[in-house]
Chain A
Amino acid sequence: MSIVRKRRNNKRGAIELQFNWIFVLVAGFIIFTFIISIILSQKKSADAALGVDITNQITAELQGKRAPNTFYEVTIPESTFTFRCTKDDGYFDMKISESTPLPTDIIFTDKTLQTKKLYLWTREFRLPYTITTVTYLTQPSTAFILYNATGNTAYTVNELRYLDEIYADLSSTNITLLVANGNDIASKAGQFKRSHIICFDGNCPKTIANTNVYDITPNQTLNSLDAYGTIKINGGDETAYITKTTLYGAIFSENKNYYECQLNRLMGQFEIKRELMQTRIALLDEGYKKINNDCRFRLTGPEQSIIDMNISTSSSWYNNDTITNSNMKRAYDNTLQVNNGNEDLKIHSCTLLY
């Protein structure tokens, strides 16, 4: 074989050898990329599956824990919860990895919770009959601080009584609860990621970082925290509450918008159940009429009070402007009338309204 041909053959061999290596590298890279993409997609779906599991666990806890006036701790993998309530239409959802609608739940909470332990506290909302069970959601790193104003701006006897009442209610749970005054409020609030400071009648501490301030003004005539009144969140416009259930709802909410959205949804439920109660009373009246029973005359007063409790004329169950002082007053005043009517029915051995 000539030298030229030998050299040519050697070159071809060298090129083929290099080509083999290039081929192996390219094929290996493609297979490697393929395996990595499978691993990444598996990781993504595992994260999504974990998010769904946590969501299912939380929604099961929320729907399962409807016994009122109870407190639960739920331990989960560290997750970030985002709650969204749209005031225009009452849409409410919770997002962990995916968004989950919660159309049947009334939950008062901060907008975002990042935690591995959730505190759930439930209370019944009654006006005066049971409307629904409401849930308050918080985390261990959020503290509730009762501000005890001292000195020139010291609280009145009634306000001290209200403080004691709130303290007694919240201390029946494991929610992080403190009492502070003007000297140590900043240092106590600074120990926690977030603080909700509860105060009365404008006697509130100055702005502190990472805190929400809830300035409560109960109705002065009735002198009861369980009646109705107004509350200002972070010094903004005041909003209304009715009964302690919604007062605590405001205290657990991060801002006025979220609180009012949930309260509108709650009052929408109230309106639905008010109409059902009104229909039931009409049917009881017909039933008593058939058997000529005098109990039907004792239903007239409560029936009118139930009708007068109407706070919404909307064609939809959700109405975004029910929260006014006059509505809360009217609802509460008629609640007392319905309660009196029920007591009267009890005395005369008639069918009770609730």
Chain B
Amino acid sequence: MKTSRSIAARYSIRQKTNHHMIRHSILRRAQIQSVETIAVVIIIIILIIIGIAFWGNVKKSDVQQTAAESQDLSVVEISKYLNEMPEFNCYQSGVEDVNCVDLYKILAFNATMNNRSDPAAQARADKFFAFYRPYFKNSRIVFEQIYPAQSAFNITIYDNNISNTTTRQIYLPVIIKDSITGRNNFGVVIVDGYYRP
């Protein structure tokens, strides 16, 4: 009697122990599976974030390149305006001379734009500056007569310098015509574009 009871008791204990062990292993497997699922989701999220960061960097360099091209185009645009402006071009009976600028038109523009000797002249200069700023934007425009050397000059007709800038420069060769003497001289128009880097 004592033996069968102890055998039964031992069997019951063994059963309980086995049951505990099985349960324990099932729980552990379930835990491992949950951890695996969460890890997969986290890795996918990390990959997506890396992909977005990489794409963002590529876009940023595209935008920088586009901005640089836009700055170059802006200086070209200013040069194109200058080339077409009747304020500087030579005319003969209403017909435009190609690549020719009139010396006295340059002098008149300079006298109007840069004369700030009295309040009336200052007001006029401000009015002209406000009018031409959309054309010339952040740039400096210089007419330089190169030949003949003895009558060389350098006139800055417009300067909207802003600080902390980089510059892009274009040179446009022109004929500078002296209306009074009728003489044609060689010169260049220098367009400096100022841009914040």
Bound pair (A, B) = yes
Question: Which residues of the other chain, A, contact B123 by a CB distance below 8 angstroms?
Answer: 315
Distance of A317 Cα from B123 Cα, bound (Å):
11
How many A residues face the partner with a CB closer than 8 A? 42
- Chain B residue nearest to A291 in the complex (CB): B180
Point out residues on A near B: beta carbons under 8 Å: 1, 9, 16, 20, 23, 27, 31, 34, 63-64, 66, 101, 103-104, 126, 128-132, 268-269, 272-273, 275-277, 279-280, 283-284, 287-288, 291, 293, 315-317, 346, 351-352, 354
Distance of A27 Cα from B38 Cα, bound (Å):
11
Question: Which residues of the other chain, B, contact A103 by a CB distance below 8 angstroms?
Answer: 134
In the assembled complex, B111 has its CB within 8 A of some CB on chain A: yes
Chain B residues 81 to 104 lying within 8 A of chain A, measured CB to CB, are: 81, 84, 86-87, 91-94, 96, 102, 104
Closest CB of chain A to B28's CB: distance in Å?
Answer: 14
* Given the contacts A275-B124, A280-B104, A316 and B130 also touching, CB distance less than 8 Å: yes
* Given the contacts A103-B134, A280-B104, A280-B108, A317 and B19 also touching, CB distance less than 8 Å: no
Contact assessment for B81 and A104 in the assembled complex, using a CB-CB cutoff below 8 Å: yes
- Chain A residue nearest to B105 in the complex (CB): A280
Contact assessment for B86 and A27 in the assembled complex, using a CB-CB cutoff below 8 Å: no
Point out residues on B near A: beta carbons under 8 Å: 19, 23, 30, 37, 41, 44, 48, 77, 80-81, 84, 86-87, 91-94, 96, 102, 104-105, 107-109, 111-112, 123-124, 127-128, 130-131, 134-135, 179-180
The 8 closest A-B pairs by CB, nearest first: A103-B134, A280-B108, A279-B108, A351-B179, A317-B131, A130-B86, A287-B180, A354-B91
Question: Which residues of the other chain, B, contact A275 by a CB distance below 8 angstroms?
Answer: 112, 124, 128
Contact assessment for A104 and B134 in the assembled complex, using a CB-CB cutoff below 8 Å: yes
Question: Which residues of the other chain, A, contact B134 by a CB distance below 8 angstroms?
Answer: 101, 103-104
Question: Which residues of the other chain, A, contact B128 by a CB distance below 8 angstroms?
Answer: 272, 275, 317
Distance of A20 Cα from B111 Cα, bound (Å):
82
Closest CB of chain B to A146's CB: distance in Å?
Answer: 29
Question: Which residues of the other chain, B, contact A23 by a CB distance below 8 angstroms?
Answer: 37
- Chain A residue nearest to B84 in the complex (CB): A66
